[in-house]
Amino acid sequence: MNDSIADSINSKAPPPTIYRWAILIFVSLAMFGNYYVYDSVAPIFDLLSSQLNYTDQQLGLLYSVYSIAAIIVLLVGGVVIDKFGTKRSTLVFAIICLFAGILTAVSSELYVMLAGRFLLGIGAEPLIVAVTTALAKWFKGKELSFAFGINLLIARLGSVSADWSPSFAKPLYTNWQDPLWLASFIAGISVAGAILYWVLENRAGKKYNIGQAEETEKLELKSLYKFSKSYWYIVALCVVFYATVFPFRAFAIKYFIEAHGLSRDAGGMLNSVLPLAAGVATPLFGLLVDKIGKRSMFMAFGSLILLPLFLVVTYFPPGPNISVTLPFLGSYTWPLTLVIVMLLLGVAFSMIPAVMWP
């Protein structure tokens, strides 16, 4: 960038606060649809077993292939975002997520579903990176951790909505396919959010100085030897979180149905307690971390309480039932022990960003 262009950019006023928060809403909507599609298969696990004769191993593959694709694409995702910018990247990856949802719904063949989930991994994880980069650009020097917290709150409402779908879309759950078509429709929200973000940033760029996105980190294998021991401890803690919480959530509804006799909609509502608690707690921890630091302390504490929580949900009696009535969604009866465990798991899971956020 030459001096005249730089002077022209610097002479512009910063964008009004309303622009920053509008950008936050739009990119968060892009992640909302992404999260919904990711979790849309969990409420139909029992239907896939009963109607398509899928085994638990095959059901697990629906999540495994996503993770494999995510690992592969993240090696180059940052390069794509740096080359094409956050606007184009967010839209392209959102469109990939939409096509992934359609591909997953279109056929009962396992290999077609796996291809759809693999494609979702290719689009979803770089979409998250693009959104994070966009927020870092717009909130640089501002309420960055709080903005990330709000972003994750809205995104995790996508997971919550997927868990709630057996309640608000109950007529669709007579077969395995209709809920996946609903997920494809909601994936359109990702595309709409990405388009609105593109339009607003283009408009703001003509009037205001919105700064430049920082380049994403490039993967250099030789740099792995330069990281400190504390870095690898944090990596290990992240692995513990993701290797326990995500597989548990994937099979939780099926587990609640088979082990505790809950209905699908009651199991889905109970499963939603985890991301809902995490979504509420995440911005609060973001504000706290902004003020006091101690990121690794939060992460360590969260990891320490995982083991006893999983022991409780596995071996402890479910305890007395409690009845909960939710507006527009109905009344549900849940074992008290399971409710407490899901709440605490959500709080523990919300501590991950306390370390990962800058």
Question: Which one-letter DSSP state was computed for residue 41?
Answer: T
CA 43 – CA 267 distance, rounded (Å): 8
Give the homologous superfamily in CATH for domain 18-211.
Answer: MFS general substrate transporter like domains (1.20.1250.20)
The full set of domain ranges for the chain reads 18-211, 227-358
Helix, strand or coil, per DSSP, at residue 156: helix
Residue 282 contacts by C-beta under 8 Å, 6 or more apart in sequence? 149, 152, 153, 156, 350, 353
Q: Say how many C-beta atoms besides its own lie within 10 A of residue 34's C-beta.
A: 31
The pTM for the full model equals: 0.84
Q: Mind listing the pLDDT tens digit for each residue in 234-252?
A: 778 778 778 888 899 999 9
CA 41 – CA 39 distance, rounded (Å): 6
Compute the residue count for the chain: 358
pLDDT in tens for each of the 358 residues of the chain?
444 444 444 566 777 788 888 999 999 999 999 999 999 999 999 999 999 999 999 999 999 999 999 988 877 777 788 788 888 999 999 999 999 999 999 999 999 999 999 999 999 999 999 998 898 888 877 777 788 878 888 998 999 999 999 999 999 999 999 999 999 999 999 999 999 999 998 887 777 766 665 555 555 666 667 777 777 877 787 787 788 888 999 999 999 998 888 899 999 999 999 988 887 787 777 777 777 767 777 777 777 888 888 888 888 888 888 888 777 777 888 888 999 999 998 888 877 655 555 4
